[in-house]
Amino acid sequence: SNQLVTYGPANFTLDAAMDYVKTPSKRTEFQRLNPLCNEPVIAIKNTGSTLLTSLTITYGRSGGTMSTFNWTGNLDFLQSPEVILPQPAWSSSNVDEFVAYVSAPNGQVDQYAFNDTLRSPFNIPAQLPSGLIFEFKTNNYPSHNSYTLKDAAGNVIINVAGQTANTIYRDTVYLTNDCYTVNL
């Protein structure tokens, strides 16, 4: 069987769209990056024939305080880059849904509003006590083993690498209330 997909000219001259929400998301292809409690990642798309050079992105947790990000760049028709947004006020709502929408493409009115908004249900990261013990056992190839603990600002709290084979390492940490990422 065969399929042929063809496209005609753009339906609009000025139209920005939300393409997808990468984090926070429950989408299967992004599972390894979620749950998330720091910087959301979305993809925007130019679905108009005019070069897209600026855009306002409004985003946050549904029912909570929304944040605004002013994007600038050069986006041709059907290009879809990912945008890393600053951390919103995650604790301003307890609805487990992220919402983002685009507006003011090139400082003007978007000609097609039906592709401007995306909603993404998500899982909340586990909340752990402030005192934690990280126990890490290396295998026979310790050069293949490492882990890093970072806070929401990207500051390294623990960086463990270059250990001895078949050895258990324990790190005790007392953390402040923040969002942390462990990379193993």
| pLDDT of 17 | 97
Residues 104-119 have pLDDT tens digits of: 999 999 999 999 999 9
The CA distance from 76 to 46, in Å, is 6
Q: What per-residue confidence (pLDDT) applies to 73?
A: 96
Single-letter residue type at 183: N
Give every residue of the chain whose pLDDT is below 70, as ranges.
none
pLDDT at 181: 84
Express each pLDDT in 56-80 by its tens digit.
999 999 999 999 999 999 999 999 9
- SS3 category, 135: strand
Contact assessment for residue 104 and residue 55, using Cβ atoms and an 8 Å cutoff: yes
Please tell me the predicted confidence (pLDDT) of residue 145.
83
DSSP letter for 165, please: T
Cα pseudo-dihedral 69, 72, 75, 79, rounded to 10 = -30
Instruction: Please give the Cα distance from 16 to 5 (Å, whole number).
Output: 22
Angle, vertex CA 14, rays to CA 12 and CA 20, nearest 5: 90
At residue 88, the pLDDT reads 93
Cis link prior to 35 (omega < 30° from 0)? yes
pLDDT of residue 96: 93
Q: Which of 13, 25, 8, 21 is nearest to 106 (CA)?
A: 13
The answer to whether residues 36 and 152 touch, using CB atoms and an 8 Å cutoff, is: no
Q: Which residues contact 5 (CB under 8 A, 6 or more apart)?
A: none
Query: C-alpha angle 8/77/85, rounded to 5°?
Result: 140
